[in-house]
């Protein structure tokens, strides 16, 4: 029985690695693997006593509240069928207990980190090759194998911030060299994606990390930034400048979105208009001077408020705050390896939150796939002395 359980656990671990790698390349393949992984998770919970279940992080209960209020919102949605279809993303929250179950040794965790880094590296190299062959412009932006450039750059942002931070804690020279070499093309692809919300997220997250880790590094960062500015293509520098242009059409449109969110909230304060319904009524609420129509409000908090109402927004905000608090506790109390994970995830999450002020990245399935992976790894109960899978101890007793 023990042998069969370990074989099964190993198979699902390798499927999890495949899932993590494919996030950057095929959403369809990811959903196929995710369905298999979700079935395994359900079987495990049904077959094992509660004492053997992985302990969920404290923030998870707020996600469950968020899902509850989202279901209530669906019941009162202006287009119930549309919202119901969007609710398939609820199952993505099963990734957190699944990763807790499968990534049960340090070796498995390190293998998963390697796969995530390699996926980002391959994706970035393909993006750079695309730019070299086809050029770069706002009308032809990098999207890799994803459906949108926002998804492409967002999937590169999370591992870039995490591994940049991790570099400062890694002691093994070969690993440091490998990570540093991989980060160069990943950063290049992020710049070439022309995605401003990701740039801002990375800039603020890494600046905050440097202040936390060693503020004196900022003295070197300033001249490095100036040198980088001279080396960047004109299309990239003009895009950076546009961040501060108050007359830029998309910048003005962000202000109009705030107005739309407030108007929708006043009319639907408790339940919102329902998931994936904002785009249907956007033109009804936008001010006359607004030219663009938008499928969503390009801001996590505004979108949740308009879509699902005040209670769903409070639940999601509580989850985000809880994540930050729990990560700070991990940073203060963990071993050196666990501290490196917690610090890396903390600042990657900061990058996600900042980028989410200018883009609805929490509504992107691929982004949530990778985000939930990172939000799980600091809370793994890694068996340092044993390579046994969860349930192996019980299997021994049953032999």
Tens-place pLDDT, residues 116-132: 999 999 999 999 999 88
Token pair 């094992």 is found at 48
Residue 227 has pLDDT above 90, yes or no: no
**pLDDT confidence of residue 392:** 39
Task: Decide if 150 contacts 367 (C-beta within 8 A).
Answer: no
Question: CA 306, 307, 309 angle in degrees (round to 5)?
Answer: 70
* Residue 230 binned pLDDT confidence (cut-offs 50, 70, 90): low
Task: Decide if 155 contacts 369 (C-beta within 8 A).
Answer: no
Please give the Cα distance from 354 to 57 (Å, whole number).
23
- Report residue 231 as tokens: 């080396």
Task: Decide if 149 contacts 138 (C-beta within 8 A).
Answer: no
Q: Within a 13 Å sphere around the CA of 154, how many CA atoms are in the beta-carbon half?
A: 29
Looking at residue 137, the DSSP 8-state letter turns out to be B
- Helix intervals (H) in 48-94: 60-75, 80-86
Distance of CA 164 to the CA centre of its chain: 16
- The residues near 351 (Cβ < 8 Å, ≥ 6 apart) are 157, 158, 161, 201, 202, 204, 205, 206
Please give the Cα distance from 278 to 340 (Å, whole number).
40
Looking at residue 78, the DSSP 8-state letter turns out to be S
Please give the Cα distance from 162 to 347 (Å, whole number).
7
Closest by Cα among 317, 318, 341, 319 to 330:
341
**pLDDT confidence of residue 333:** 81
Least trusted range by pLDDT, from 179-183, 223-227, 287-291, 362-366? 223-227
Task: Decide if 104 contacts 98 (C-beta within 8 A).
Answer: no
**pLDDT confidence of residue 148:** 86
Closest by Cα among 332, 388, 370 to 156:
370
Task: Decide if 319 contacts 56 (C-beta within 8 A).
Answer: no
CA end-to-end span of the chain, whole Å? 7
**pLDDT confidence of residue 386:** 39
**pLDDT confidence of residue 15:** 94
Task: Decide if 340 contacts 333 (C-beta within 8 A).
Answer: no
- The residues near 253 (Cβ < 8 Å, ≥ 6 apart) are 290, 291, 292, 294
Q: Give the pTM.
A: 0.89
């Amino acid at each position: 029985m023990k042998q069969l359980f370990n074989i099964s656990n190993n198979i699902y671990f390798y499927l999890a690695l495949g899932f993590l790698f494919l996030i950057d390349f095929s959403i369809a393949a990811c959903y196929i693997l995710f369905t298999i992984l979700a079935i395994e998770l359900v079987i495990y919970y049904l077959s094992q006593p509660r004492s053997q279940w992985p302990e969920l992080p404290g923030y998870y209960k707020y996600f469950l509240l968020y899902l509850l209020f989202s279901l209530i919102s669906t019941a009162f949605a202006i287009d119930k069928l549309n919202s119901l279809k969007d609710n398939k993303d609820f199952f993505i929250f099963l990734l957190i207990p699944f990763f807790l179950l499968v990534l049960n040794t340090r070796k498995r965790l390190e293998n998963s980190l390697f796969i995530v880094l390699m996926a980002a590296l391959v994706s970035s190299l393909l993006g750079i090759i695309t730019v070299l062959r086809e050029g770069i412009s706002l009308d032809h932006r990098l999207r890799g194998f994803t459906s949108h450039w926002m998804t492409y750059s967002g999937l590169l942002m999370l591992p870039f911030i995490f591994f940049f931070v991790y570099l400062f804690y890694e002691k093994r020279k070969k690993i440091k060299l490998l990570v540093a070499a991989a980060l160069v093309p990943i950063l290049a692809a992020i710049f070439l994606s022309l995605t401003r919300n990701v740039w801002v997220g990375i800039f603020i997250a890494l600046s905050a990390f440097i202040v936390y880790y060693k503020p004196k590094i900022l003295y070197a960062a300033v001249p490095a930034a100036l040198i980088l500015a001279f080396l960047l293509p004109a299309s990239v520098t003009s895009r950076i400048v546009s961040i501060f242009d108050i007359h830029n059409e998309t910048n003005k449109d962000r202000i109009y979105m705030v107005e739309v969110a407030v108007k929708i909230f006043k009319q639907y304060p408790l339940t919102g208009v329902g998931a994936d319904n904002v785009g249907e009524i956007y033109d009804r609420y936008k001010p006359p001077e607004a030219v663009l129509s938008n499928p969503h409000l390009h801001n996590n908090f505004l979108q949740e408020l308009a879509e699902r109402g005040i209670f769903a927004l409070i639940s999601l905000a509580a989850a985000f705050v809880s994540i930050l608090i729990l990560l700070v506790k991990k940073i203060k109390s963990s071993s050196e390896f666990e501290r490196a994970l917690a610090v890396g995830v903390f600042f990657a999450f900061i990058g996600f939150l900042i980028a989410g002020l200018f883009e609805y990245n929490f509504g992107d399935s691929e982004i949530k796939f990778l985000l939930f992976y990172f939000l799980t790894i600091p809370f793994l109960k890694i068996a340092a002395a044993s390579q046994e899978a969860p349930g192996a101890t019980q299997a021994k007793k049953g032999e």
